[in-house]
């Protein structure tokens, strides 16, 4: 049983420590400093209440997720909405994880879709073949990506100390690191909403994982301690990622400046080095920059290190990008397993067919991301409705007929309503100030909520 408990810890680590901890969280730690961290901790504490209650709901009632939604909370519409949302999150995670693998291997970005499809197929195949060994596999990959990432950060730090000699570049580097410890950054309501979005995204809210996890979690496992421990690990890894961005910014400035002042260098090279420097500069100074721009900035780091002539660039890029890929891979495996379980219960497909259905749908969606506008829309879906999804995910706890007393259900209700209202406010900003693709992503995301609207009808059909 102790062995199972250890595997459960790795399972939660694999899900909660995702690519977004390395790609998006550092931006808010740098641009908002310790104020942003404190706000994030308050938001995390609210999310943790829902996470623990979700796990406890199925753990106490002994129901599987869909059984719980139908028999106890009487919210089958929420289950369908979570499955729809899960497939999009799976697709986006597969795409940007595969982008990290393509960068690690220094291949053209035309290979991203191919690598994404292969990643989905291999993950599904591993789930079907591994059976009882799935937890062992996830545990190994979880350990690998943490080791790779910490090694990459230490490596890039040592090389930065040895190679960044330009005074202006050192100033950029040091000021970015100092931003992590600063209390002087201005906080706006818009930046708070951004922190909220990224916090709930990095915790994996909105796809029903914690309901499924609770259905087979050992009774004696202390979920609260484990979740808190994983969140602390998340924060530490996010700070490490922020340091990697800071060192990359120093390298980017020095490489661009050296190329610009060297008259023998081709102007095209200076321009190609300026673009990633400018992207990283915006990443470290603009808290409300669009998600797409922030993702692009992080994926310019391999270009900065390679084109800038950094010693050990190949090793740094390989470790850094593989760690991001492994972080995504563990999440992908769990999302496919969750989606397969949910689909097998909702559609009565069985586990194998459920996994196959979720994988095929995600592959089809991933193929659409070859078209730039469709890729932008699919990326915006999770970030436009994540707060609504987190609020909706609290609904089964509020309406359940078992497991919790009125006080606990009222607490979940307050948090759920608050998140739902904030989600509506986020939609207001999107439709009044957002770009076209952001608006289209929000519209598609709202379509996913239709099953919740028709929840009463779905209850009648279940009878």
Give the pLDDT confidence score for residue 242 in this predicted structure: 93
Render pLDDT for 404-446 as a digit per residue (tens, 0 to 9). 888 888 999 999 999 999 999 999 999 998 889 999 999 999 9
What's the mean per-residue pLDDT of the chain? Answer: 87
Give the pLDDT confidence score for residue 265 in this predicted structure: 62
Give the pLDDT confidence score for residue 174 in this predicted structure: 92
Single pTM value for the model: 0.92
Which residues have C-beta within 8 Å of that of residue 241, sequence separation ≥ 6?
Answer: 21, 22, 23, 25, 26, 149, 153
Give the pLDDT confidence score for residue 217 in this predicted structure: 78
Give the pLDDT confidence score for residue 131 in this predicted structure: 60
Among the ranges given (10-19, 319-328, 417-426), the one the predictor scored with the smallest mean pLDDT: 10-19
* Percent of the chain whose pLDDT exceeds 90: 40
Give the pLDDT confidence score for residue 146 in this predicted structure: 85
3-state SS of 209-248 is: HHHHHHHCCCCCCCHHHHHHHHHHHHHHHHHHHHHHHHHH
Query: How far is 137 from 139, CA to CA, in rounded Å?
Result: 5
Q: Which two tokens stand for residue 454?
A: 């028709």
> What is the average pLDDT across 154-176?
90
Among the ranges given (177-186, 229-238, 254-263, 330-339), the one the predictor scored with the smallest mean pLDDT: 254-263
Backbone angles phi, psi at 74, to 5 degrees: 55, 45
Which residues have C-beta within 8 Å of that of residue 305, sequence separation ≥ 6?
Answer: 156, 248, 251, 313, 316, 317
Give the pLDDT confidence score for residue 390 in this predicted structure: 92
Give the pLDDT confidence score for residue 312 in this predicted structure: 84
Q: Choose among 438, 409, 398, 463: nearest CA to 78.
A: 398
Give the pLDDT confidence score for residue 371 in this predicted structure: 93
Q: Is the pLDDT of residue 100 over 60?
A: yes
> What is the average pLDDT across 298-306?
90
Q: Is the pLDDT of residue 319 over 80?
A: yes
Q: Is the pLDDT of residue 263 over 70?
A: no
Query: How far is 63 from 240, CA to CA, in rounded Å?
Result: 39
Give the pLDDT confidence score for residue 132 in this predicted structure: 58
Give the pLDDT confidence score for residue 255 in this predicted structure: 85
Residue in the structure block whose two tokens are 């909660």 = 16
Query: How far is 11 from 6, CA to CA, in rounded Å?
Result: 9
**Res. 193 pLDDT band, cuts 50 70 90:** confident
Give the pLDDT confidence score for residue 59 in this predicted structure: 85
């Amino acid at each position: 049983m102790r062995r199972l408990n250890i595997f459960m810890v790795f399972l939660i680590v694999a899900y909660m420590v995702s690519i977004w901890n390395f790609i998006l969280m550092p931006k808010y730690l740098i641009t908002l400093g310790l104020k942003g961290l404190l706000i994030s901790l308050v938001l995390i504490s609210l999310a943790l209440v829902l996470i623990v209650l979700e796990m406890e709901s199925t753990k106490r009632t002994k129901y599987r997720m869909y059984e719980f939604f139908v028999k106890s909370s009487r919210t089958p519409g929420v289950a369908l909405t979570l499955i729809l949302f899960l497939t999009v999150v799976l697709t986006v995670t597969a795409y940007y994880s595969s982008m990290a693998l393509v960068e690690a291997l220094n291949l053209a970005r035309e290979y991203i879709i191919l690598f994404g499809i292969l990643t989905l197929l291999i993950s599904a195949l591993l789930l079907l073949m591994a059976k009882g060994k799935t937890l062992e596999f996830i545990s190994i990959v979880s350990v690998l990506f943490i080791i790779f990432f910490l090694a990459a950060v230490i490596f890039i730090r040592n090389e930065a100390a040895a190679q960044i000699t330009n005074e202006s570049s050192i100033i950029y580097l040091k000021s970015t690191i100092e931003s992590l410890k600063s209390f002087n950054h201005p906080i706006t309501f818009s930046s708070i909403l951004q922190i909220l979005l990224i916090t709930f995204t990095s915790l994996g809210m909105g796809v029903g994982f914690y309901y499924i996890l609770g259905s087979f979690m050992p009774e004696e496992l202390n979920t609260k301690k484990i979740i808190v421990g994983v969140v602390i690990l998340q924060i530490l890894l996010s700070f490490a990622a922020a340091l990697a961005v800071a060192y990359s910014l120093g390298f980017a400035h020095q490489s661009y400046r050296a190329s610009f002042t060297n008259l023998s260098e081709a102007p095209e090279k200076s321009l190609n080095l300026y673009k990633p420097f400018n992207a990283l500069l915006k990443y470290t100074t603009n808290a409300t920059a669009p998600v797409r721009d922030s993702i692009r900035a992080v994926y310019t780091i391999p270009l900065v290190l390679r084109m800038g002539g950094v010693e050990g660039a190949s090793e740094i890029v390989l470790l850094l990008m593989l760690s991001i890929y492994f972080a995504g891979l563990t999440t992908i495996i769990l999302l496919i397993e969750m989606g397969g379980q949910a689909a097998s219960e909702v559609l009565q497909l069985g586990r194998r067919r459920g996994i196959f259905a979720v994988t095929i749908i995600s592959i089809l969606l991933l193929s659409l991301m070859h078209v730039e506008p469709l890729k932008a829309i699919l990326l915006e879906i999770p970030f436009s409705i994540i707060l609504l999804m987190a609020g909706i995910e609290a609904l089964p706890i509020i309406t359940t007929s078992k497991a919790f007393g009125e006080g606990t259900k009222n607490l979940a209700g307050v948090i759920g309503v608050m998140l739902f209202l904030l989600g509506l406010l986020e939609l207001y900003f999107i439709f009044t100030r957002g770009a076209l693709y952001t608006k289209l992503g929000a519209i598609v995301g709202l379509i996913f909520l239709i099953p919740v609207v028709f929840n009463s009808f779905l209850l009648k059909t279940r009878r």
